[in-house]
Amino acid sequence: MRRLLALAASVTLVAGCGWSGEDTAATSSGGGTIDYWLWDSGQQPGYQKCADAFAAQNPGLKVRISQYGWDVYWSKLTAGFIADTAPDVFTDHLAKFAQFADLGVLRPLDSLEATSDINDGDYQEGLAELWKGQDGKRYGSPKDWDTIAMFYDPAAVADAGIDPASLQNLTWNPQDGGTFEKTIAHLTVDKNGIRGDEAGFDKNNVQQYGFGSDGAGGAGWGQTQWSAFTGSAGWQATDKNPWGTHFNLDQPVFQQTLDWYFGLARKGYMPSFAEIGGNNPIGPDKEIQSGLAAMALDGSWKISTYTNLTDAAGTKLKIGIAPTPIGPSGKRASMFNGLADSITTLSKQPSQAAKWVKFMSGAECQNIIGESGVVFPARPSGTALAVKFNKEKRGLDVTPFTDQVQQKTTFLFPVTTNAADITALMIPRMDAVYIGDAPVSSLTSLNDQLNNLFEVAG
């Protein structure tokens, strides 16, 4: 319980959270209601279709879906583990998984009949293995996956006289930024109409930045900020993944890359920390929508968000997608993250919950989600349907996201224990580097702090 309370202290809890648990217990005939939580409102309609199909195939058994925003979701879930009001099943994230597994609040799926035969080979390569603990047991059933690419405003690109085809093969390096930096410099326009690569450019009065920002990246290993650059420079966060115990933030390649990356803001090509709202950034999608940025890195889970952006008159904006730039390693790179469905140890009906988890990871539900075009399901067949939906229904080529997987240019989201402590240490340090209050060399002492977490635990 002390460990649970320590975890709870790492997040902000909201008053009155949790749910009474009414109607969740399984009946003697095997019926009942399974309580399922997720945070993505865009995915809720698709999973409701899955729930309806599941109920039709399991008479007397139904699923109640609850959706909460990201911050509230984790607060309510943590409070639920303490107060015994957690759901039967919830959508799990790799950033949270290790700590939950350590705390013993996740039930091993291997021990339940319905989920005991999950086959790693049914899903995109590497996804299923991510959800196995250090004990070798499986604690999550693959749900979907995501990578990073560049969203851009075609109108801004055209105004700059840039051929959209050139965005497909941009290169970068920490010395002069390569063709990537040249491109975002030209996309940047100050309030006098002078571009970032033209004489007289005023970096302190920018109207449109060439490159948007999603913050300092301390809360998620720079997933939508600098991870594509550090990854394509050949850097990895830990000595091994998953379950690394030694960190590499002191390596020159990492610090040189971040010095260049945050230097883009000091050159006037990327918004400052204050302009994006500090450690609660407005987000790259809003920056592109408002005209503050012409191009930005973001995740595949935001495809629907970008395709629904409108201008001040309510007209939908056109959006383009390009791959991440090719780095010093000679390859492009993207963090490969995945979500899964986990069963809590507090569930009063784990066998019934396992049936629902197995259904969600099966072809029928995965194809339903794929046809919605919101995310890329874990099964290749579901991914193919999502690509098709975006092409045919939205006129959008989303292969810059899927090519990363097919071309094996991805690297895994760092999975470690002490995740909450790591995040708490990284956020203020990374913010300070972005703001300019601390040099990138200060990340060496941060690295020592992270390593000490494991020495103390040992």
Distance CA(458)–CA(447), nearest Å, equals: 17
320-364 pLDDT, tens per residue? 999 999 999 999 999 999 899 999 999 999 999 999 999 999 999
Residue 14 or 59, more confident? 59
Report the pLDDT value the prediction gives residue 99, as an integer from 0 to 100: 86
**Cis previous bond, 350, omega within 30:** no
Residue 341's pLDDT is 98
The rounded percent of the chain whose pLDDT value lies above 70 is: 93
Average pLDDT over residues 202-213: 98
Q: Are 456 and 253 in contact (CB under 8 A)?
A: no
Question: In the structure encoding, which two tokens stand for residue 36, read together?
Answer: 């399922």
Asked whether the predicted pLDDT for residue 370 surpasses 70, the reply is yes
Q: pLDDT band at residue 394, thresholds of 50, 70 and 90?
A: very high
Whether pLDDT at 202 is above 80: yes
Which residue in 436, 410, 422 sits closest to 219, CA to CA?
A: 422
10 Cβ contact partners less than 8 Å away, ≥ 6 residues apart: 420, 421, 423, 424
Could you give the CA distance from residue 210 to residue 224 in angstroms, rounded to a whole number?
16
Task: Assign 31 a pLDDT band (cuts: 50, 70, 90).
Answer: low
Pairing label, strands 334-343, 89-93:
antiparallel
Encode pLDDT of 145-164 as tens digits.
999 999 999 999 999 999 99
Of the candidates 228, 255, 209, 236, the one whose C-alpha atom is nearest the C-alpha of residue 171 is 228
Q: Which residues contact 412 (CB under 8 A, 6 or more apart)?
A: 126, 130, 241, 242, 335, 336, 337
CA atoms of 341 and 330, how far apart (whole Å): 36
**Is pLDDT above 60 for 237?**
yes
Domain 148-335+415-457 has CATH 3.40.190.10: yes
pLDDT at 1 over 60: no
Domain boundaries, given as residue ranges, for the chain:
2-145+338-396, 148-335+415-457
Q: How far apart are CA 131 and CA 141, in angstroms?
A: 7
- Distance, in Å, from the CA atom of 436 to the CA atom of 262, rounded to the nearest integer, reads 9
Task: Establish whether domains 2-145+338-396 and 148-335+415-457 are of one fold.
Answer: yes
Helix (H, G, I), strand (E, B) or coil at 339: strand
Q: Is 29 helix (H, G, I), strand (E, B) or coil?
A: coil
User: Which CATH number applies to 2-145+338-396?
Assistant: 3.40.190.10
Give the Cβ contact number of residue 446 at 10 Å: 22
Give 64-82 pLDDT, tens digit per residue: 999 999 989 999 999 999 9
Q: Is 59 helix (H, G, I), strand (E, B) or coil?
A: coil
Estimate to the nearest angstrom the gap between the alpha carbon of 308 and the chain centroid: 19
What's residue 178's pLDDT? 98
Q: What is the mean pLDDT of residues 114-142?
A: 93
CB 141 within 8 A of CB 339: no
The pLDDT value recorded for residue 95 is: 86
- Which residues are CB-neighbours of 407 under 8 A, at least 6 positions away? none
Give CA–CA dist 157/295, Å, rounded. Answer: 9
User: Residue 458 has what pLDDT?
Assistant: 54
Distance CA 333, CA 113 (A): 38
Q: How confident is residue 28, by pLDDT bands cut at 50, 70 and 90?
A: very low
Distances (CA, A) of 53 to 89, 93, 251, 289: 17, 25, 51, 37
Task: Say yes or no to pLDDT of 19 above 50.
Answer: no
Strands 89-93 and 32-38: parallel
For the segment 92-107, the average pLDDT, to the nearest whole number, is: 91
Q: Say how far apart CA 115 and CA 111 lie, in whole Å.
A: 8
- The pLDDT of residue 457 is 58
Residue 52 has pLDDT above 60, yes or no: yes
